Structure 1
Amino acid sequence: MRATAIQSDGKILVAGQYTDELSDSFTIARYLPDGKIDESFGTGGKVQTGFTDGSGGIYNLTVLKSGKILAAGYGLVFFQFPIYQSPILAQYLPDGSPDPSFGD
């Protein structure tokens, strides 16, 4: 994990990347103030945003005044030569679902 943020209600967000055998994904987990996983966030307390044919990770996380979660990180494309890295921003609603009003 590479980033943390505290929501106004005291819930704790922890973010970074999740790695499986094929790729990495943006990952955010949310904990209650007592340290237990918040099962109401995403799926089972975490949100993963995958990348087709590549990987990515979150390096910074902030909670906006609206309660939305803004994540900044990077993405790599593996199956294209040359391999390149680019910055990526993702925004999530307070419940962990992707914000459809952000980006394209």
Structure 2
Amino acid sequence: METAPFLVEIDNPEPDTTRLTLSGDFDYTTSGELAALTPTLMSRGLKVLEVDLNGVTFIDSSGLATLIHLFHAAEEVPAEMRFVGMTPYIAHLFEVTALDQVFNLPTSAA
């Protein structure tokens, strides 16, 4: 089975804000890429970490665990981590795993 390549794009739409745009399959084979970026992201002095999951086509428990780890790392900075985009698939996954009660989700995903 072929997987969609996983990509992480990083930009700064506003001062003190970093946006991660993720796309492709976010699973046990690719989640390490984002986990490896976490210390660098947190050392940037950010106040807001935005995560856009619109391009994520698949996510497994490793991807979810990496997002939880990123969330806790942002809390330690302290910085606010919020999701600025996601598909209905991801929103449903967050709902069935109760992560919609943990993460700051866009109102359209609620």
TM-score range, shorter chain: 0.3 to 0.5
Instruction: Specify the structure having the higher radius of gyration (Cα).
Output: 1
Q: Greater relative contact order: 1 or 2 (C-alpha under 8 angstroms, separation 6 or more)? A: 2
Which structure has greater strand proportion?
1
Which structure has greater helix proportion?
2
